[in-house]
Amino acid sequence: MAAPSVSPQSVLERVRKERVRFVNLQFTDVLGVVKSVTIPAAQLEDCLTHGKWFDGSSIEGFARIAESDMYLMPDLSTFAVIPWEKGENTTARVICDVFTPDGQPFEGDPRRVLARNLEELAKLGWGLHTGPELEFFLLQRDEKGVELPLPHDRGGYFDLSTDLAMNVRKEMVNALEEVGIEVETSHHEVAIGQHEIDFQYDDAFKTADNCVTFKYTLKAIALLHDLHATFMPKPIFGINGSGMHTHLSLYDLKTGDNLFVDSADEYGLSTLARQFIAGLLAHARGMCALLAPLVNSYKRLVPGYEAPVYISWARVNRSALIRVPQISPGRPDSTRIELRCPDASCNPYLAFSVMLAAGLDGIKNELSPPPPVEENLYHFDEFQRAQRNVGTLPAFLGEALDELERDHVIRQALGDHVYDRFLEAKRAEWNEYRLQISQWELDRYLPIF
């Protein structure tokens, strides 16, 4: 997937020109955690030819000890000098693909999972555009550097005078642009201490790489200000959580035309777009464990905090799972749909893969979505929801994992290796959580029983 215009010679010349001392060879595990092998810049030329070997048995979801040898091969289109690590030890990073000893792409590499799904889409002559909106909190840290669940400010949506992090966000934007991410907007979000920075809508593969880079860039800049940037879905009780609303559309690989556009339709959507929506709705419960993968994710997906709970679609209704954003006059090519249940704790490579698989299943089976629901679903009772054929998302991680096990389309999108390792890791996480005794339980029950 590397851009052909990026040659090894141009990268090596940049390393010399900018006096890069170290290079981080970056990849992610199945859960989306960033991993890195650091090499001296003098080793980069050999790495570009032969790769860099590492032990995969210690990486979550990668391999057993008996099959641990793997190597990293840099994707030079992702090479960037890290702006906050310049100076005597100037460091660059490059995102890598993972290969097995026989030179085959490793099927447990999340980046490979997305590449494989996009390759299948390309056989139809189509590509996928995605635009994730990653919300995050800036929290205070104590004198020992421990993160505190205390917001950095008391601001609200689009606030100015109470937004203490305006200059911090500007530094974040500068850093993102230096590593090649084109930022469109930044602003304070609804909750105290909550923020959002949006970057350009683009091809899903590039956007997934950008998601990974975005998160650790923001954490690094926050730390320079003695703050902690967290993408935890619900870090603070009683206020809005953080999501990763994701905008989606298909486009023609030859012409670049947006395949979701139909100006004659009431919602401006083509038949293809409506079928894609139907597929997302049909597989919403099955893919939820990938899109909202933490125990904590389901404390965000509750009524009353602008997060979706009900499986429906609409245009203006922000309680719906899928929304059709208004399009600026004269810009039909920006037609898209917005899936509102993901949060930024997900692995973006896997998240985009299952979104694509769900939507394509709707297209392949010519599914039709139910009528849109524009009323506030939080005001519906159970009978009204049943009348309108409105289901609900899983209420907790264990339920989401059960739904994942039932969904063969989502399993196929992940591939058996990733499916098995992801399910194993998340089952362990859920079972460990179930056995914990929380402070809430102690405070509520210990004085009484």
What amino acid positions are annotated as catalytic residues?
55, 133, 135, 189, 196, 245, 318, 338, 340
Sign of the Cα torsion 421, 426, 429, 430 reads negative
| DSSP three-state, residue 138 | strand
Beta bridge partners of 444: none
User: In whole angstroms, how far apart are CA 54 and each of 50, 63, 342, 421?
Assistant: 13, 12, 32, 19
Which helix (DSSP H) or strand (DSSP E) does residue 207 occupy? Answer: helix 204-224
Cα separation, 431 vs 419, whole angstroms = 18
Cα separation, 373 vs 379, whole angstroms = 12
Type of residue found at 100: T
Residue 209 CB contacts under 8 Å (≥ 6 apart), including other chains? 78, 95, 111
Cα separation, 345 vs 32, whole angstroms = 8
Task: Give which of 228, 219, 225 is closest to 176, Cα–Cα.
Answer: 219
Cα separation, 373 vs 389, whole angstroms = 10
Under a CB-based contact definition with an 8 Å cutoff, are residues 81 and 92 in contact? yes
Q: How far apart are the first and last CA of the chain?
A: 61
Angle of helix 284-291 relative to helix 416-434, nearest 10 degrees, comes to 80
